[in-house]
Homo-oligomer: A and B are copies of this chain.
Amino acid sequence: MENRFAFARDLVYQAGAYLLDHQDHCFKVETKSGPTDLVTQLDQEVQDFLVERILARYPQDGILAEEKGLRHQIDQGPVWIIDPIDGTTNFVTQRRDYAIMLAYFEDGVGQFGIIYDVSRGEIYHGGGRFDVYCNEKKLPPFQNKPLSDFLLAANAGMLESNHWGVADLAKETLGVRVYGSAGISFSKVLSGQLLTYLSYIWPWDYAAAAVMGEKLGYCLLTFDGERPDFQTRQGVIMLPKEKISEFKNYIKKED
């Protein structure tokens, strides 16, 4: 597993270097599910880069990835979960607050996760049998404090409509932030900068964070309190295990 982990980190660094090299050139931007759901030529190139190298080294492994419909089941053997650019809209308009994410599972059990905040040069990596680091700095487990000492991050739409009670929870805290990237938001939870992150996202958006979070005292749950299905888009929350009972006063499934 050490070899796979080192291979994966090296690959993600290379993919980040590729993005930094190409981000100031002209590239094609298209829409997917709607006018605000962007995908670029670089999303596809970075995914191809990662998939090709993973399969060259581990030809039997499965791939679950954002672009091009690669949908290997998470519980079937060794599976790599790839988000080539998380926060594509930020990437297109700002060249910052976007992440490359990679996770590795065996028979449904997370072995390690990686979130690379390319514009800040910060790589979060670990989980499973590995401690979690931001670059060379080992991250401590969740440190309990009152809700009122924390910021949280959420999806803007959920906040506007107080969906699942997100705005009610936010009122108990120092406030809410909206970064437009699951990877960036989760990395701030893992490093203690945020209490929690709530959004309506896909498996490649949460897989890496779920594996690292587990190691640091967090759990990733749907708003029903279940493990996410690693197949569909779901409303999920990453929260400290110690805070589950407190959160239940605010976060409620809607009928």
Contact = CB atoms under 8 A, between A and B. Distances in A.
Nearest to A178: B178
B180 A148 contact: no
A39 interface: no
Given A160-B167, A175-B180, A151 B188 contact: no
A150 interface: yes
Contacts of A250: none
Contact of A156 (B89, B94, B148, B178): B178
A66 to B, nearest CB: 18
B156 A180 contact: no
A176 B90 CA distance: 11
A59 interface: no
Contacts of A94: 151, 188, 193-194
Contact of A177 (B170, B175, B180): B180
B150 A93 contact: yes
Contacts of A156: 159, 170, 175-178
Interface in A143-192: 148-151, 156, 159-160, 162, 167, 170, 174-180, 188
Interface residues of A, number: 30
Contact of A89 (B35, B95, B175): B175
Contacts of A249: none
A36 B175 contact: yes
Contacts of A174: 36, 38, 89, 93
A136 to B, nearest CB: 16
A93 B175 CA distance: 11
A159 B148 CA distance: 21
18 contacts: A36-B174, A36-B175, A89-B175, A93-B149, A93-B151, A93-B174, A94-B151, A94-B188, A96-B193, A151-B180, A159-B160, A160-B160, A160-B162, A160-B167, A175-B180, A176-B178, A178-B178, A179-B179
The 6 A-B pairs at the shortest CB distance, nearest first, are namely: A178-B178, A94-B193, A156-B176, A36-B174, A89-B174, A93-B151
